[in-house]
């Protein structure tokens, strides 16, 4: 279906056809110049391009746009993709001003996922072929502001789904452990099972999974989705997720030597080192469609409890003290999630295999955070 694109035709000249307004039709690429939701050629976004950008990218390189790029995952994924495809072919975007080091790494643009017109300009003007949609409010923050989470996580999703259809993009939307609920199998949770999440974050992710699969089967959208476990990274601050204690505990261990955990000590959840998360995403995006039996896959690496990760840290920092003060909202969320993922389909279909276990994760996190604190002139406990 490479010669096919998707457009939205609004038929308004005949009263008898008004009911068809907004129907999405699949047409041959010779019609791709027709207007969709109106057209503007104004390049409103602020582009930052390397001065040595070539006029044409290599024919085998995708042109990638990452939304929500200043969150936990975007910068690292962009860095890995730029090493493979060239920095001019990977565009990071967000609604916040990037730090100087991120701005200088490669192309960065302003992009609000609720502004469809601006997004379309970015896709068309920059010849995007892959779209990675990271914009979302996470679980705990989403419960504190359901209306905003619904707007960003669902309305923003529909904007990128429409853009992917209209421009024949390969679209990646991450899902999450939060897409499961208390009625889901917990140990392990398979790819296909009852989900029924009880957070707006989880509901929005199930909605994304189902919409993407529907549009794939009905219109041929190249939709791809991975259910991420808790992601542990030294490079970004915790962002309001239920699994964020597994990042904060390393910062606390090296700064004060004391961590107060908002989950019970025996709360087991699936976790993954961020480099494994990025590598899984890239390998999945690169996999030929013929290898994919699903459009949404679980990926797994390890599962641990707060006490287990604390014990592993104590092998390096024996003085670490952890106290437990469970937060009702986050503990309830965690208790509804799986304790392990079954990722056998990802391993079989496209060769997924993690590189980090718990000991490797702890060693890397402590070394990375110690280096960051030392470089910043901060004390290390």
Q: pLDDT tens digits for 312-346? A: 999 999 999 999 999 998 999 899 999 999 999 99
CATH 3.40.50.720 fits 136-376, yes or no: yes
Q: Whole-model pTM?
A: 0.83
pLDDT of residue 26: 38
Could you give the residue numbers annotated as active site? 201
As given in the structure block, the two tokens for residue 168 are 């024949």
H-helix segments, the chain: 74-85, 100-103, 116-125, 139-144, 146-150, 156-167, 200-219, 245-255, 274-286, 306-314, 328-335, 344-350, 358-375
DSSP structure class, residue 8: E
Q: What is the mean pLDDT of the chain?
A: 86
Measured between alpha carbons, how far is 182 from 336 in angstroms, rounded to an integer?
Answer: 4
| Distance, C-alpha 335 to centroid of its chain | 23
Length of the chain measured in residues: 381
Q: Does 38 score more than 70 pLDDT?
A: no
Helices (H) and strands (E) in the chain, counts: 13, 15
As given in the structure block, the two tokens for residue 92 are 């990071």
Percent of the chain with pLDDT over 90: 78
Long-range contacts of 350-354 (CB under 8 A, 24+ apart): 350/283, 350/284, 350/287, 350/291, 350/292, 351/283, 352/280, 352/283, 352/284, 352/297, 352/299, 354/272, 354/273, 354/276, 354/280, 354/299, 354/300, 354/301, 354/302
Measured between alpha carbons, how far is 368 from 370 in angstroms, rounded to an integer?
Answer: 5
User: What average pLDDT does range 279-296 have in this prediction?
Assistant: 98
pLDDT of residue 138: 81
Which residues have a Cβ under 8 Å from the Cβ of 136 and sit 6 or more positions away?
Answer: 68, 152, 153, 156, 201, 204
- In tens, the pLDDT along 199-227 reads 999 999 999 999 999 999 999 999 999 99
Concatenated DSSP letters of 346-369: HHHHH-------HHHHHHHHHHHH
pLDDT of residue 241: 81
């Amino acid at each position: 279906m490479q010669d096919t694109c998707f457009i939205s035709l609004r038929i308004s000249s005949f009263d008898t056809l008004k009911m068809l307004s907004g129907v999405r039709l699949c047409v041959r690429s010779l019609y791709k110049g027709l207007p969709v939701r109106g057209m503007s050629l104004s390049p409103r976004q602020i582009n930052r391009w390397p001065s040595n950008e070539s006029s044409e990218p290599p024919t085998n390189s995708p042109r990638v746009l990452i939304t929500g790029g200043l969150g936990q995952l975007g910068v690292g994924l962009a860095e890995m993709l730029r090493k493979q495809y060239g920095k001019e072919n990977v565009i990071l975007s967000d609604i916040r001003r990037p730090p100087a080091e991120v701005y200088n790494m490669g192309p960065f643009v302003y992009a609000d996922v609720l502004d469809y017109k601006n997004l379309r300009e970015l896709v068309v003007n920059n010849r995007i072929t892959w779209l990675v949609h990271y914009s979302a409010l996470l679980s705990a923050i989403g419960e504190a502001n359901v209306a905003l989470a619904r707007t960003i996580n669902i309305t923003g999703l529909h904007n990128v789904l429409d853009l992917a259809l209209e421009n024949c993009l390969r679209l990646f939307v991450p899902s999450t452990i939060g897409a499961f609920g208390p009625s889901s199998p917990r140990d392990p949770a398979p790819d296909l099972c009852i989900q029924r999440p009880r957070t707006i974050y989880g509901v929005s992710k199930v909605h994304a999974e189902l919409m993407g699969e529907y549009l794939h089967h009905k219109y041929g959208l190249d939709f791809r989705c991975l259910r991420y476990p808790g992601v542990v990274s030294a490079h970004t601050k915790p962002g309001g997720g239920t699994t964020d204690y597994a990042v904060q505990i390393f910062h606390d261990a090296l700064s004060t030597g004391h961590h107060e955990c908002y989950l019970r000590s025996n709360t087991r959840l699936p976790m993954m080192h961020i480099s494994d998360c990025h590598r899984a995403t890239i390998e999945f995006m690169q996999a030929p469609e013929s290898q994919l039996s699903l459009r949404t896959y679980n990926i797994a690496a390890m599962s641990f409890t707060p006490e287990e990760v604390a014990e592993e840290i104590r092998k390096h920092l024996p003085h670490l003290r952890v106290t437990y003060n469970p937060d009702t909202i986050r503990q309830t969320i965690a208790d509804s999630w799986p304790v392990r993922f079954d990722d056998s389909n990802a391993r079989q279909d496209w060769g997924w295999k993690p590189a980090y276990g718990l000991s490797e994760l702890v060693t890397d996190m402590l070394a990375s955070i110690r280096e960051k604190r030392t470089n910043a002139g901060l004390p290390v406990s």
